[in-house]
Amino acid sequence: MSAIVLGEKIRIPDFVDDLESFRCWARSDDFPEQGRFSHLNLCSTSVEKDTLVLRGLYWQADIPEYWLVDARGDRLQFDILRRHPDGYVPTRKQRGWLESAVFGKSFRLSSRPDELGHPEYTLSVQ
């Protein structure tokens, strides 16, 4: 399981239209969240503990939105969680897309097997 934590609203450049271009942009000096962008790999043996603990820390840090990705099972799980007065709530899918208030765009994460049968992931942006 992975969590992606983001601060305030961010504008995505027009050239970011897939997972690879997003990764390149997020690692570049042009990324506005440079130094604050957090991609955390969580150990599968402590997912429940880590997601509860991290959720509390994100709340204390006033993080408005974070993403959770779980690709461990047969079904890929992708959630964008938004801060609400009572805690974080998952964003509702709209025709298969999740809207990010931080990015001002919608995202869909999908997977399919590559030639060797390993999962290949695609982050689509609209």
Helix (H, G, I), strand (E, B) or coil at 21: helix
Residues 1-33 have pLDDT tens digits of 444 445 555 677 777 776 677 777 777 777 765
What confidence score (pLDDT) does residue 35 get? 47
Q: Is the pLDDT of residue 121 over 50?
A: yes
Residues 30-57 have pLDDT tens digits of 776 554 444 444 455 567 765 777 788 8
> How many domains does one find in the chain?
1
What helix, strand, coil percent values describe the chain, rounded to 5? Answer: 20, 40, 40
What confidence score (pLDDT) does residue 8 get? 53
What confidence score (pLDDT) does residue 119 get? 81
Q: Is the pLDDT of residue 95 over 90?
A: yes
Class of residue 34 by CB neighbours under 10 A (exposed 0-12, middle 13-18, buried 19+): exposed
Question: For residue 63, what are the domain limits?
Answer: 2-125
